[in-house]
A and B are shown apart, each in its own frame.
Chain A
Amino acid sequence: MVAIHQTVRPAAPPARGRRRRRVRPATVAAFLAPALALFLLLVVTPILVAAYASAFKWNGFGVPSDFVGWDNFTRAFADPTFRGDLWRAFVLVALSLLVQLPAALGLAMLLNQPLRGRAVYRLLFFAPYVLSEVTTAVLFTLVFSPNRGLGDTLSRLLGAEAGAVFADPDTVLLAVFLVVSWKYFGLHMVLFLAARQGIPRELTEAATTDGATAWQTFRHVTLPLLGPTIRISVFLSVIGTIQLFDMVWVLTGGGPIHASETMAVTMYQFGFRRFEVGYASAISIVMFALSFAFALVYQRVVMRRDTEGAVTTRGVQG
């Protein structure tokens, strides 16, 4: 029996000796081969090409020939628009973690309750994720249409002048964030739901039988067991926010006057509109480096517990 005030933790991994599996290298290689082949050929190779191009001034035609070394990078960090992009990325990540993820978690818990029509709600809440970015943007430009009723009221609620929520540099980033949240919270909700399904009923029932309130059960039993999934969700959310492109591009194009521009939008502008492919590649390398640095730190610090035990044993010993 578990005392309620103890937070449930996965049991410590068994002794080292037991964990080493006897496995033939060939077996491991065979399992990894399909994914690795696909990945190296179709993902790594293009990335390496882009990395190469980032050291050149290149308009995309022919082969890069004008070597400029680090110039593209220094140019990026000196550019006020790009610096603004970095700041906006930070703001969006903060908003995601503070608003979007908790909401998704709450909704997943909600939908786990025995409610009538639960299946319909589940379907409904996930629906936005299924829509394409273009669709979502088209819908929301409709909703926020200037001069018309609902759009007017909503815009005013957000602090913009009537109907101008995407036209006002002060509110546009917030508005974009709301649309992005609307679309993507379903993804996190589904992840949490699936994870929640994996928690044996016996555990939560045991807690309730012991006299825990719903909140206590959640806080001390469910939440820790959801921990790994939450950490993955945070990871995906941060990386996804750094890469944010499609929605912003279609909703606002990064405007007005760069007020909603993200690094990926800047990269697309320079790569596909201005044909400054070397510079755009450099921006993409910066995005990559940022994400990678975050991932490294995150793995070391936050996910250490998850990385330690390759296999957890369920079942709590008192």
Chain B
Amino acid sequence: MTAHLSRRSLLGMAGLGAGAMLLGGCGGDDDGGSGGTQTIDWWHIQNTEPMLPVWAAMAKEYQDAHAGVTVEIQPLENEAFKAKLTTATQAGSPPDLFQSWGGGVLAQQVQAGLVKDITDDVAPWIGSLLPLAMQPYTVEGRIYGVPFDLGMIGFWYNTAHFERAGIGSPPATWAQLLDAVGKLKSAGIVPIALAGKDKWPGHYYWSYLAMRVGGLSVLQQALEQKNFDTPDLVAAGQRFKELIDLQPFQKGFLGAEYGSPDGQAATMGNGGAAMELMGQWAPSVQASSSTSKQGIGDKLGFFPFPTVDGGKGTVTEVFGGGNGFAVGRDAPPATLDFLKTLLDVANQRRAAATGAVLPTVKDAADSIKDATGKTVAATLAGATGFQLYLDQAYPPALGQQVNDSVAELVAGAKTPEEVVKDLTAVAKSQ
């Protein structure tokens, strides 16, 4: 006599599992309790000094001032945040208030109905923010998030190295930049530090060149028309290739990360390279990765991305991004009031004073302490146009493809023509 498992019991167990799943799929979120107590689930990515305690203090102050409201903070590291948010949103339970970079990812969340349309709620106070900053968080004219931090990408350079190489003033045109690279190489200095492994630093070059060659809206247009195979974008790639062919990057750059001890920021901070194209956080990361703990100190300078001769873009058009908060669809009403508090002038001044945030509220700009922060803020204030980082502005699949394609261009594995064809293919499949 042999034993066999009842098929019925097997099916039964599988059915239980499937049933539980379906149940879960219909489930919504449970907070925003009844009777006046509200809990705000807040996920942010400033999980280290200096902003971690600042956010915590602001939350506590709000709780103390508003009985019946609890703020549950979950500080997460960048990558962990993305992973956790993805799972939560895809499962239909977004947190109440969470980090957002705006752009295509936010648009996707809007389309899936996971974030609140807060246009009407923020209308009374949104005017205190820089209009440029609101762009990435506006989808089809409606606002879904509010930025608290705004920055831009530009060239950070070592003035001492430039002097040694005989470069009089920072390059204002692309041709002058290539020339400067040549001079630096002759002087035995590594011209540019680049984190090849991380890919996103490389896409800054291509994106800026696209803007300089084709004008501010060229990248947005390419997305809308689902076509990147235009002469302007091919030309942008070709300009970049000119730089790559000069071999201006540090040794082992294809395996270098941005923030690791032997990465791009550390190379700059220790004086190992003359320039890097990076965002407003660059000076502080250079300093913390460097041996001296102060980076290159007062030898650090900043110049905006050069223009391209014959191109349609101007130097006041800016490529960058920031940080903001989006509101989850099931968020309790207190969330919007809390958000307003976080963005009021006093709190923005506090954030700006830490040096980790460049405030979006116009009046808070006077609290920026360090010189480099002030430079960036001033440049931003004078900006005539803004383009968000492509790996955020575009839908995720396309944004990743930009990073991948530019990395292939940098490694010499693809030509500028092939790059735009690959991008077009992904854009069309969206």
A 248-289 contacts with B by CB, 8 A: 252-253, 255-257, 269-270, 272-277
Asked whether any CB of chain A lies closer than 8 Å to the CB of B3, the reply is yes
B396 interface hit (Cβ, 8 Å): yes
User: Which of A34-42, A88-96, A177-185, A297-305 interfaces with chain B?
Assistant: A34-42
Question: 3 tightest A-B contacts by CB?
Answer: A167-B255, A25-B3, A146-B252
Contacts of A272 on B, CB cut-off 8 Å? 82-83, 86
A272 to B262, alpha carbons, bound, how many Å? 27
A266 CB to nearest B CB, Å: 11
Q: Please, which residue of chain B has its CB at the minimum distance from the CB of A33? A: B9
A61 lies within 8 A of chain B by Cβ? yes
Given contacts A40-B10, A41-B17, A61-B89, contact A257 B408 (CB under 8 A): yes
B residues contacting A by CB (< 8 A) are 1-6, 9-10, 13-14, 16-18, 20-21, 25, 82-83, 86, 89-90, 92, 108-109, 111-112, 114, 196-197, 199, 251-256, 260-262, 395-397, 400-401, 407-408, 411, 413
Q: Which residues of chain A come closer than 8 Å to B89, judged between CB atoms?
A: 61
Q: Which chain B residues border A166 with CB–CB below 8 Å?
A: 197, 252, 255
**How distant is the Cα of A162 from the Cα of B255 in the complex, in angstroms?**
12
A164 touching B407, Cβ below 8 Å: no
B266 to chain A, nearest CB (A): 11
Task: List B contacts of A147 (CB < 8 A).
Answer: 251-252, 262
Say whether A60 contacts B86, CB under 8 Å.
yes
**Contact among B13, B197, B397 for A36, CB-based, below 8 A:** B13
User: 8 A-B Cβ contacts within 8 A?
Assistant: A28-B5, A29-B9, A41-B16, A44-B17, A61-B112, A63-B25, A256-B197, A275-B395
User: In whole Å, how far is A126's beta carbon from the nearest beta carbon of chain B?
Assistant: 28
- Asked if residues B112 and A40 are in contact (CB atoms below 8 Å), the reply is no
The answer, yes or no, to whether A59 is at the interface (CB within 8 Å) is yes
Establish whether residues A269 and B400, one from each chain, have CB atoms under 8 Å apart when the complex forms.
yes
CA distance A148 to B401 in the complex (A): 33
Interface centre among A141, A142, A161 (most CB of B within 10 A): A141
**Across-interface contacts of A252 in B (CB, < 8 A):** 197, 255
Contacts of A228 in B (CB 8 A): none
Q: Which residue of B lies closest to A276 (CB)?
A: B397
- Minimum Cβ distance to chain B for residue A137 (Å): 11
| B90 and chain A: residue at smallest CB distance | A60
A48–B13 Cα gap in the complex (Å)?
14
The 0/1 profile, CB within 8 Å of B marked 1, for residues 143-175 of chain A is 001111000000000000111111111001000
Q: Which residue of chain A has its CB nearest to the CB of B253?
A: A167
Contact among A29, A162, A275 with B251 in the assembled complex (CB-CB below 8 Å): A162
Partner of B252, one of A22, A36, A59, A167: A167
- What are the residues of chain A within 8 A of B18 when measuring CB–CB? 45, 48
CB-nearest residue of chain B to A148: B262
Query: Assuming the A-B contacts A40-B14, A167-B255, are A255 and B407 also in contact, with contact meaning beta carbons closer than 8 angstroms in the complex?
Result: yes
Whether a CB of chain B sits under 8 angstroms from the CB of A18 is no
**B-contact 0/1 string along A1-43, CB 8 Å cutoff:** 0000000000000000000101111111100100011001100
Q: Find chain B residues with CB under 8 A from A141 CB.
A: 260, 262
- Report how far A22 CA is from B3 CA in the complex, Å: 9
Give the residue of A32, A48, A62 whose beta carbon is less than 8 angstroms from that of B5. Answer: A32
Q: Is A115 an interface residue (CB 8 A)?
A: no
CA distance A27 to B4 in the complex (A): 10
Known: A146-B251, A168-B255. 8 other contacts (CB 8 A): A29-B3, A36-B10, A45-B14, A168-B254, A172-B255, A257-B407, A269-B400, A277-B90
A-side residues, CB < 8 A to B, are 20, 22-29, 32, 36-37, 40-41, 44-45, 48-49, 59-63, 141-142, 145-148, 161-169, 172, 252-253, 255-257, 269-270, 272-277
A145 CA to B260 CA in the complex, in Å? Answer: 11
**Most B-side CB within 10 Å, residue of A25, A255, A269, A276:** A255
Known contacts A23-B3, A61-B114, A273-B400: does B17 contact A40 (CB below 8 Å)? yes
Q: Chain B binding site: helix, strand, loop or mixed by DSSP?
A: helix
Q: Which residues of A contact B5 (CB under 8 A)?
A: 25, 28-29, 32
B197 with A145: CB separation less than 8 A: no
Q: Is the CB of B3 within 8 A of A256?
A: no
Contact among B3, B20, B256, B261 with A27 in the assembled complex (CB-CB below 8 Å): B3
Chain B residues in 8 Å Cβ range of A22? 1
Contact B90 A61 (CB under 8 A): yes
Among A44, A48, A256, find the residue whose CB has the most chain B CB atoms closer than 10 A: A256
Contact of A37 among B4, B13, B114 (CB under 8 A): B13
Residues of B contacting A48 with CB < 8 Å? 18
Compute how far the CA of A82 lies from the CA of B82 in the bound complex, rounded to whole angstroms: 25
Q: Whole-angstrom distance from the CB of A121 to the nearest CB of chain B? A: 32
Q: A29-B9, A45-B18, A162-B251 are in contact. Are A257 and B413 (CB under 8 A)?
A: yes
Judge whether B255 and A164 touch: CB under 8 Å.
yes
B404 to chain A: closest CB distance in Å? Answer: 8
- Contact status A257-B252, CB under 8 Å: no
Residues of B within 8 A of A256 (CB): 196-197, 254-255, 407, 411
How far does the Cβ of B396 sit from chain A's closest Cβ, in whole Å?
5
**How many whole Å from B212's CB to the nearest CB in chain A?**
26
A49 CB to nearest chain B CB (Å):
7
A residues in contact with B252, CB < 8 Å = 146-147, 163-164, 166-167
A167 surroundings in chain B (CB, below 8 A):
196-197, 252-256
- Min distance, Cβ A76 to any Cβ of chain B, angstroms: 14
- Tell me which of A63, A146, A161, A269 has the highest count of chain B C-beta atoms within 10 A of its own C-beta: A146
Bound complex: CA of A45 vs CA of B5, how far in Å? 19
Asked if A163 and B14 sit within 8 Å, CB to CB, the answer is no
Give the docked Cα–Cα distance between A61 and B397 (Å).
Answer: 14
CB distance from A135 to the nearest CB of B (A): 15
**Which chain B residue has the least Cβ–Cβ distance from A166?**
B255
- A32-B92 Cα distance, complex, nearest whole Å: 35
Decide if B254 touches A255 in the complex (CB within 8 Å): yes
A275 touches B396 (CB 8 A): yes
Question: Given the complex, which residues of A lie within 8 Å of B407, measured CB to CB?
Answer: 255-257
B9 to chain A: which residues have CB within 8 Å? 29
Give chain B residues whose Cβ lies under 8 Å from the Cβ of A142: 261
Q: How far is the CA of A61 from the CA of B114 in the complex (A)?
A: 9
When distances are taken between beta carbons in the complex, the residues of chain B under 8 Å from A62 are 92, 112
Q: How far is the CB of B395 from chain A (nearest CB, A)?
A: 8
Q: Provided the pairs A22-B1, A255-B254 are in contact, do residues A49 and B90 lie with their beta carbons within 8 angstroms?
A: no
In whole angstroms, how far apart are the Cα atoms of A166 and B395 in the complex? Answer: 30
B residues less than 8 Å from A23 (CB atoms)? 1, 3
Query: Residues of B contacting A44 with CB < 8 Å?
Result: 14, 17
Q: Are B3 and A41 in contact (CB under 8 A)?
A: no
